[in-house]
């Protein structure tokens, strides 16, 4: 038993160190995301487990010798490390609040706890409103992936604002039912209409199938969401990772007809705002932004998504890069990014925000989360609760401005 618990402590120490200081190169880099995500998001449980291990050492007879001291020191190191990770998780609300208040057009997080109880955050579960109404698998086009869902409450008022959410998955996998649920449940609870859409996936359907599909889905929203109580003039687009890329690109190209379907009649393609979470906002793999991760994104795009080499097709890659599409009339943005994200480097978000502030007239809010990995918001943690508050505050401000 003693040696098994010592091995458990060693595993927890390795996982915690991976969450704190993830490797970016070599064999350990392959473990950085999955191990770091688990350790960072489940740190409550790891801390409690290690405290239980230490309690066992002190309350039960253990073998004597130097290795007992080593095991206790190992367990103590795990407790300290997991305490740091728990502190980052619980401190996210303060980080988010300061980021929103620091803007020249400050936003405030509401002081009253509405997004989730401590118990719900500790259990990491997301509960939808009891009167949630779902209209599922509505066709917005002819392809089998051209399906979307609409969520609302029975009490959702007419002409409610709309959040249009796009799933991630490296443009090659994913589904509208899987991601962003804690945040989307809260938007529904607050009287918003939520639309989530699937789109064609690479490599079967290479780029630009993905942006063509989400543009077609937006056309559906603009022409049909009023039938579900939504206001087509007050739509905010959001998504995570590849979905964050598509959301940002959609918001930045509302005046560009390149990807619009020919068989729809939409007068107003504009979006009130965009909220990309850990989005792929630079698509050429420029190492000034990717800092050693650029080869990976280029390999993915060249071989599976775009399926043509970057060399000789630089203009194509620039056209699908949100950072290169920023313009003076871009809508407002809220960008959320984790500092230790090993799939999308934090400098990608920083570069996008810096460029946006130089070029665009609309406000951009930037939340940078310490010790946070990619796709952190799959769980209903205290960190997800904090960024959900930010999304609600931002989205409410931009739809109010759009409605004026």
Is 197 inside a domain boundary? yes
Residue 297 lies in a domain: yes
Tell me if 60 is assigned to some domain.
Answer: yes
Would you state the pLDDT for residue 227? Answer: 96
Q: Do the domain assignments include residue 103?
A: no
Q: Is residue 235's pLDDT more than 70?
A: yes
Answer whether residue 297 shows pLDDT above 80.
Answer: yes
Query: Last residue of some domain: 90, 125, 159?
Result: 90
Which of 114-118, 204-208, 210-214, 317-321 has the weakest average pLDDT?
Answer: 114-118
Going by pLDDT thresholds of 50, 70 and 90, the confidence category of residue 59 is confident
Task: Kindly state the percentage of the chain with pLDDT values over 70.
Answer: 95
Q: Are 234 and 336 in contact (CB under 8 A)?
A: no
pLDDT surpassing 70 at residue 152: yes
Give the whole-angstrom CA distance, residue 395 versus residue 194: 13
Confidence check: pLDDT of 393 > 80: yes
Are both 125 and 84 inside the same structural domain? no
Q: In the predicted model, is pLDDT for residue 400 greater than 70?
A: yes
385 contacts 123 by C-beta, under 8 angstroms = no
Both 257 and 143 in one domain: the answer is yes
**Looking at the domain assignment, is residue 264 inside a domain?**
yes
Residues 268 and 380 in one domain: yes
Among 29, 55, 90, where does a domain finish?
A: 90
Residue 178 shares a structural domain with residue 237? yes
pLDDT digits (tens, 9 = 90+) for 83-136: 999 999 999 999 999 999 999 999 998 765 555 555 566 667 777 788 999 999
Predicted pLDDT at 60: 77
Residues 78 and 137 in one domain: no
Distance CA 116, CA 110 (A): 13
Which of 90, 124, 143 is where one domain is finished?
90
254 pLDDT more than 60: yes
Q: Are residues 375 and 228 in the same domain?
A: yes
**What is the mean predicted confidence (pLDDT) over 66-76?**
85
The pLDDT mean for the chain works out to: 93
Residues 46 and 167 in one domain: no
> Domain check: are 297 and 174 in the same one?
yes
Is residue 108 situated within a structural domain? no
Q: What is the total count of domains within the chain?
A: 2
- Give the DSSP per-residue string, 76-128: HHHHHHHHHHHHHHHTHHHHHHHHHHTSSS-----SS--S--HHHHHHT----
| Local structure of 71: helix, strand or coil | helix
On whether the CB atoms of residues 320 and 280 are closer than 8 A, the answer is no
Q: Give the residue from 332, 350, 340 showing the smallest Cα distance to 375.
A: 340
Residues whose CB is less than 8 angstroms from the CB of residue 352 and which lie 6 or more positions away in sequence, other chains included: 248, 281, 282, 322, 323, 326, 335
Of 165, 318, 315, which is closest to residue 246 (Cα–Cα)? 165
Same-domain pairing of 83 and 157 = no
Of 119, 121, 120, 55, the C-alpha closest to 89 is 121
Q: Is residue 247 part of a domain?
A: yes
Q: How confident is the model at residue 27 (pLDDT cuts 50, 70, 90)?
A: confident
- Residue 19 sits in the same domain as residue 153: no
213 confidence band (pLDDT: 50, 70, 90): very high
Residues assigned a catalytic role: 241, 341, 374
Minimum mean pLDDT range among 54-58, 81-85, 189-193, 255-259: 54-58
Rounded to two decimals, the pTM is 0.95
The Cα-based distances of 300 to 171, 200, 204, 308 in angstroms read: 10, 16, 14, 11
Q: What is the CATH number of the domain that holds 390?
A: 3.40.50.1820
Residue 109 lies in a domain: no
**pLDDT band at 26, cuts 50/70/90?**
confident
240 shares its domain with 367 = yes
pLDDT band at 403 (very low <50, low <70, confident <90, very high): low
Question: What is the domain range of residue 43?
Answer: 2-90
Torsion of CA 271, 272, 273, 274, to 10 degrees: -30
pLDDT at 68 (0 to 100): 77
Pairing relation of β-strands 160-166 and 230-240? parallel
Angstrom distance (rounded) from CA 301 to CA 131: 42
Give the integer Cα–Cα distance in Å for 25 and 211. 31
Q: Is 130 exposed, middle or buried (0-12, 13-18, 19+ CB in 10 A)?
A: exposed
Indicate whether 150 and 236 sit together in one domain: yes
């Amino acid at each position: 038993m003693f040696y098994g618990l010592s091995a458990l402590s060693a595993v927890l120490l390795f996982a915690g160190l991976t969450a704190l200081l993830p490797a970016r190169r070599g064999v350990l880099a392959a473990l950085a995301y999955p191990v770091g995500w688990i350790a960072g998001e489940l740190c409550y449980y790891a801390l409690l487990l290690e405290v239980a291990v230490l309690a066992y050492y002190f309350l039960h007879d253990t073998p004597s010798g130097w290795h007992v001291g080593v095991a206790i020191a190992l367990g103590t190191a795990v407790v300290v490390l997991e305490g740091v990770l728990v502190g980052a998780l619980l401190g996210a609300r303060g980080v988010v609040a300061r980021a929103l208040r620091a803007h020249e057009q400050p936003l405030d997080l509401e002081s009253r706890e509405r997004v989730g109880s401590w118990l719900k955050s500790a259990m990491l579960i997301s509960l939808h409103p009891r009167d949630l109404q779902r209209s599922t698998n509505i066709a917005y086009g002819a392809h089998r992936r051209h399906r979307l869902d609409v969520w609302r409450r029975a009490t959702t008022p007419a002409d409610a604002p709309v959040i249009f959410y796009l799933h991630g998955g490296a443009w090659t996998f994913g589904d509208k039912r899987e991601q962003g649920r804690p945040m989307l449940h809260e938007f529904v609870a607050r009287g918003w209409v939520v639309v989530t859409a699937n789109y064609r996936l690479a490599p079967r359907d290479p780029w630009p199938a993905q942006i063509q599909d989400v543009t077609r889905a937006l056309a559906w929203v603009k022409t049909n969401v009023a039938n579900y109580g939504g206001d087509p003039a007050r739509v905010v687009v959001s998504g995570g990772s590849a979905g964050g890329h598509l959301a940002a690109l959609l918001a930045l190209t509302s005046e560009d007809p390149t990807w619009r379907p020919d068989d729809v009649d939409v007068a107003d393609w504009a979006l009130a705002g965009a909220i990309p979470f850990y989005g792929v906002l630079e698509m050429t793999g420029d190492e000034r932004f990717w800092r050693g991760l650029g080869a990976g994104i280029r390999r993915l795009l060249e071989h599976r998504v775009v399926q043509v080499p970057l060399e000789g097709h630089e203009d194509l890659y620039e056209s699908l890069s949100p950072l290169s599409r920023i313009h003076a009339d871009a809508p407002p943005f809220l960008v959320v990014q984790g500092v230790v994200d090993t799939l999308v480097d934090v400098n990608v978000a920083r570069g996008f925000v810096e460029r946006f502030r130089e070029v665009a007239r609309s406000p951009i809010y930037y939340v940078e989360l310490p010790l946070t990995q990619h796709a952190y918001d799959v769980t209903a943690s205290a960190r997800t609760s904090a960024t959900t508050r930010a999304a609600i505050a931002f989205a409410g401000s931009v739809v109010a401005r759009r409605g004026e």
